[in-house]
Amino acid sequence: MKRVPVAYQLYSAREDVAQDMAAVFHQLKQLGYDGVEFAGFFDKSAKDIRTMLDSEGLIPVSSHCPLSVMQADMFGTIAYHVALGLKYIAIPYVDEAYRPGNPGFAELIRFVYKFGALCKEAGLQLLYHNHDFEFAPVSGGYGLDFLYASTPPEYLATQIDTCWVKYAGEDPAAYVRKYTGRAPVVHLKDYVGTKGEGSPYALIGKKENEPLDTQQFQFRPFGHGSQDAKAIVEAGIDAGAEWFVVEQDLSYDRSPLEDAAMSLNTLRQVGLK
């Protein structure tokens, strides 16, 4: 199997990162991770974070940056990401107003085109990280596909979150392969449960409908839930992924980094590491 490096989405251990970012970097390196994906910078300078990463030999791969932050200061956002040495910047989540089926979706597409062009000029690649709500119908297809079709690949690449693809009712491996050549960063995430009433985002503090019963839906380490780990990894490799990113929005009976170790062991078992 082709060797593709693996990063860790720091949102998965956000409380630990807020308390001691350097310690988390050290633990991730000891576990065997190659890089990290950010979800906020905790008021630290790009220089200071880069120093911590370099001391551990970790690569700063990408960042989940709130859409509101991008909109408020496009050039400042780009400058910070360039200073940190990131290659990718992702729109991680959009509020209901910007989702397919709502008037703001057209505004989102216009912004993505403009901001994606600025990112390209600066040497960054803009990504869009999906949930399940982008699989709402638009013009005879999914809203997510409409978004990608509306924007040149050089301005917007995919960051397919395989958990939410499966939760939406699609085959994650097939969906990753659908974007071969446009899928540089693939999110590896697992869960157990079924789609039902309420929103799984309520579990992680998003104000959407009623919270789900955690017995109905739970995030799990990759390879310890409902996902076909080997098939997804093979699809990512076939699609030309440059990075896999392990993400787990919540941990339950173990610490986030214990779950991170279990996910990485899955990747060793399927032959990636």
Q: Using CA atoms, how far apart are residues 51 and 57, in angstroms rounded to an integer?
A: 10
Residue 239 sits in which domain range? Answer: 6-269
**What's the whole-model pTM score?**
0.95
Q: Using CA atoms, how far apart are residues 107 and 104, in angstroms rounded to an integer?
A: 5
Q: What one-character DSSP code corresponds to residue 203?
A: G
Q: Please check whether residue 121 lies inside any domain of the structure.
A: yes
Which CATH number characterizes residue 226's domain? 3.20.20.150
Q: Are 38 and 64 in contact (CB under 8 A)?
A: yes
Q: How far apart are the first and last CA of the chain?
A: 9
Per-residue model confidence (pLDDT) at position 273: 81
> What is the number of structural domains in the chain?
1
Per-residue model confidence (pLDDT) at position 200: 75
Q: Using CA atoms, how far apart are residues 229 and 227, in angstroms rounded to an integer?
A: 6
Q: Please check whether residue 153 lies inside any domain of the structure.
A: yes
Q: Please check whether residue 90 lies inside any domain of the structure.
A: yes
The pair of three-digit structure tokens given for residue 57, joined into one six-digit string? 């030999």
Q: Using CA atoms, how far apart are residues 171 and 193, in angstroms rounded to an integer?
A: 16
Q: What is the pLDDT along the chain (273 residues), one digit of tens a residue?
A: 899 999 999 999 999 999 999 999 999 999 999 999 999 999 999 999 999 999 999 999 999 999 999 999 999 999 999 999 999 999 999 999 999 999 999 999 999 999 999 999 999 999 999 999 999 999 999 999 999 999 999 999 999 999 999 999 999 999 999 999 999 999 999 999 887 666 676 556 665 555 555 557 899 999 999 999 999 999 999 999 999 999 999 999 999 999 999 999 999 999 998
Q: Please check whether residue 163 lies inside any domain of the structure.
A: yes
Per-residue model confidence (pLDDT) at position 210: 58
Mention every residue, 6+ apart, whose C-beta is less than 8 A from residue 108.
Answer: 67, 94, 98, 147
Q: Using CA atoms, how far apart are residues 229 and 97, in angstroms rounded to an integer?
A: 33
Q: Please check whether residue 1 lies inside any domain of the structure.
A: no
Q: Please check whether residue 77 lies inside any domain of the structure.
A: yes
